[in-house]
Structures are given as structure tokens and as C-alpha cells.
Amino acid sequence: MNQAQVLFKRRVVTSLLFTILILLLMTAIPLVNAWSQTADAEKPAISQEQAGVAKFGFIAAAMAFGFGAIAAGIGIAYVGAAAMGAISEKPEVAGQALIFIALAEGLVVFGFITALIILGKI
């Protein structure tokens, strides 16, 4: 192997080892906190009724974000296809096409904000 291939192989192996090390550290740090809990952690922080209400709040937040993301994906699929067709025929409408794609992408932002509002109320 020439020098460039050896250097490339060394860089790939180094980056893989570094990535594995970071992943191991990211999983080990939260585990240390979980193992260090005392006997007082056995008591529940909230009551059964509060947990039942929070459950529906989490479901509502997930639905708000999920449906917003799905709707944005569908909107971007149709608008993006039409925009690419329009740009191929008339390249000067590219700016307008990007605006319409950004409007469809705004649905995700609205869903995310709604989910944050719901989670803030729990």
C-alpha cells in the first residue's frame, strides 16, 4: 500500500475508535446517576392520578408533533415535485418555489411548538 492509503486507513480506524469511545461515555454517564440513587428514590414522585393525566398529555404532545411532521412530509412531497417541474421549465421561479416549500415545512414547526405548549402544561 502506498503512503496515502495507509494514512487514510489510520484516520478511519482512529475516527471509529473515537466514535465508539464517545458512545460508551454517553451511555456510562447516565448509568452512574441511576446506580447512585438512595432508598428515598423508591417513593413515587407523583400520584397515580397525576400519572394518568400526564400519560394523556404525553400522547397528545406526540400526536401534535407526529401529525405535523407527517403533514409536512406530504406537503413537501407534492409541492417539491411541482416546484422541480416548474424550475425545469422556467428557472427564474426557483425563489418562489423555495418559499412554497418553506411554507409546507412550517407545519413541523407549528406541531413542535404545540407539543412544547402541551408538555409545559403537564
Domain boundaries, the chain: 1-34, 60-122
- Kindly report, residue by residue over 48-94, the tens digit of the pLDDT: 888 888 888 899 999 999 999 999 999 999 999 999 999 999 989 88
For the chain, strand residue ranges (E) read none
* Superfamily of domain covering 60-122: F1F0 ATP synthase subunit C (1.20.20.10)
pLDDT at 113 over 70: yes
pLDDT at 116 over 80: yes
pLDDT at 31 over 80: no
Q: What's residue 28's pLDDT?
A: 75
Q: Is the dihedral of CA 40, 45, 49, 54 positive or negative?
A: negative
Question: Which pairs from 70-73 meet CB under 8 Å and 24+ separation?
Answer: 71/107, 71/111, 72/104, 72/105, 72/106, 72/107, 72/108, 72/111
Q: Is the pTM of this model over 0.85?
A: no
